[in-house]
Amino acid sequence: MKLQTFICILFVGSLCSCQTHQTTIFVEQTLNRDYAKIACDIYKRNHDSACLRTPEQMTADLEERLASAVRQDPACRYVTISHGPVGDESMKSYLAGWSLTFDIGIDNRDIDYSNSAWHLLDHKTKKSFDGSLENSADAATQICLVTLR
């Protein structure tokens, strides 16, 4: 009986230690839009041709591709992507969390995913991490694994 109780306590204790906290990643929409505008301006200057989509449309596309991959990735089960603006009620979470920006590559007047990158900043430690957006599923896995360290 004592052995069963001991094993039960170990099992319950191990279950409790495996639980982790929810992580929120805040998408820096204004910065992402500004970066896309700069990329389109440079493309237009170098190629005498405008981007097919607006910077808002391009950043929304990248955000949705990545958010969709995060929702499907088991490594991301404790990760939430926040697209909304940071207000008074979410400032504490923002300062304790992560922020995500994109460098958008342009080719043939539209997003070049193979030349686009993500940048993740941990507000607590001020450490940053980078990766490619060529494959959104790989990017989601990398981002989520970084936040779970």
What is the C-alpha separation between 33 and 133, in angstroms, rounded?
Answer: 16
Q: What residue ranges do the domains of the chain occupy?
A: 21-147
Q: Is the pLDDT of residue 19 over 80?
A: no
Q: Does 75 or 15 have the greater pLDDT score?
A: 75
Q: Give the three-class secondary structure for 128.
A: strand
pLDDT (tens digit per residue) in 130-142: 999 999 999 999 9
In CATH, the architecture of 21-147 is: 3-Layer(aba) Sandwich (3.40)
| pLDDT, position 88 | 77
pTM of the predicted model, to two decimals? 0.81
pLDDT (tens digit per residue) in 52-108: 999 999 999 999 999 999 999 999 999 999 887 787 777 888 888 899 999 999 999
- Which of 44, 38, 86, 73 is closest to 58 using CA atoms? 38
Q: Which amino acid is at 5?
A: T
What is the C-alpha separation between 15 and 18, in angstroms, rounded?
Answer: 5
